[in-house]
Amino acid sequence: MKIRAILFDLGNVLVDYRPEIFITRLSERVKIGKEKLVRYFLTSTADIEYTEGKISSDEFFKIISRDLSLNCSQEEFWDFWCNIFIAKHEMDALVARLKKSYPVWILSNTNEWHFEFLKSRFPVLDMIDQLFLSYQLKCQKPDEKVYEHVIRKSGLKPDEIFFTDDITVNIEAARKSGLRASLFKSAAELNLELNQMGVL
Ligand SMILES: [Mg+2]
């Protein structure tokens, strides 16, 4: 089946992200050990609820601030939370090339603060035709509901959509829903694969 749309994951595919920068800066500011912060963010449900749009940005900060007894402002926290992304110029170039022939979409597990921040500073997002964002869908990968939503919205057959993501379970779930899915390793490997498939 011919590919008719390209669906990208965002984090570590179109932009790199470094959550350890957030942990280090927050730790230094609020004088809480990095290990404690990592443990908190790995086990707290606030992060999941925020990613699934079940709580607002203000509520997210309030919960974290209360749980960790933070002594920093919401503005400071926002700065630590958001300033973790790094552009990937080789992916910007690939998106620009693909966009000449295909609609290019994003399917991302993300939250309002991260996405708004990325949208304001990373021009690659201006090239994207359609966004499927967990906090707006109220649901995240690898839940099959997410992929079914994308397929329904697209009006395409599942195997007309090429999807790439750096996380194996997201790829496996996408394949179960019928998408043509490929684990992302690097821009070079993705370029090669798209060439071999006759997409580029
Ligand atoms: Mg990712």
Domain boundaries, the chain: 5-16+87-196, 19-82
CA of 142 to the centre of ligand 1 (A): 12
Rounded average pLDDT over 2-19: 98
- How many angstroms does the Cα of residue 12 sit away from the middle of ligand 1? 5
Does residue 71 contact residue 64 with C-beta atoms inside 8 Å?
no
∠ CA 123-126-128, nearest 5°, is 125
- The answer on pLDDT for 181 being more than 90 is yes
Euclidean distance between CA atoms 194 and 56, whole angstroms: 38
Coil, helix or strand at residue 6: strand
- The structure tokens listed for 198 are 């006759």
pLDDT in tens, 40-91: 999 999 999 999 999 999 999 999 999 999 999 999 999 999 999 999 999 9
Chain mean pLDDT for the chain:
98
DSSP for residue 192: H
What are residue 182's DSSP bridge partners? 164
Q: Do β-strands 15-17 and 85-87 pair in parallel, antiparallel, or remain unpaired?
A: antiparallel
Separation of CA 69 and ligand 1 centre (Å):
30
19-82 CATH fold = DNA polymerase; domain 1 (1.10.150)
- Determine the distance separating the centroid of ligand 1 and the alpha carbon of 107, expressed in angstroms: 9
Return the number of other C-beta atoms located less than 10 Å from residue 50's C-beta.
Answer: 25
Domain 5-16+87-196, CATH class in plain words: alpha beta
How does pLDDT run across 132-147, given as a tens digit for each residue? Answer: 999 999 999 999 999 9
In angstroms, what is the span from residue 178 Cα to ligand 1's centroid? Answer: 20
CA 168 – ligand 1 centroid, Å: 10
Separation of CA 72 from chain center: 26
Centre of ligand 1 from the C-alpha of residue 11, in Å: 4
140 C-alpha to ligand 1 centroid (Å): 12
Cα 35 to middle of ligand 1, angstroms: 23
CA 67 to ligand 1 center in whole angstroms: 27
The enclosing H or E element of 180 equals strand 180-183
Q: How far apart are CA 106 and CA 161, in angstroms?
A: 12
Task: Tally Cβ neighbours within 10 Å of residue 42.
Answer: 8
Q: State the distance from the centre of ligand 1 to the C-alpha of 179, rounded, in angstroms.
A: 17
C-alpha 187 to ligand 1 mean position (Å)? 14
- Cα of 200 from ligand 1 centre, angstroms: 22
Report the pLDDT value the prediction gives residue 1, as an integer from 0 to 100.
Answer: 79
CA 166 to centroid of ligand 1, rounded, Å: 5
| Helix 112-121, helix 57-67: angle, nearest 10 | 120
Among candidates 13, 5, 43, 176, which has minimal Cα distance to 109? 13
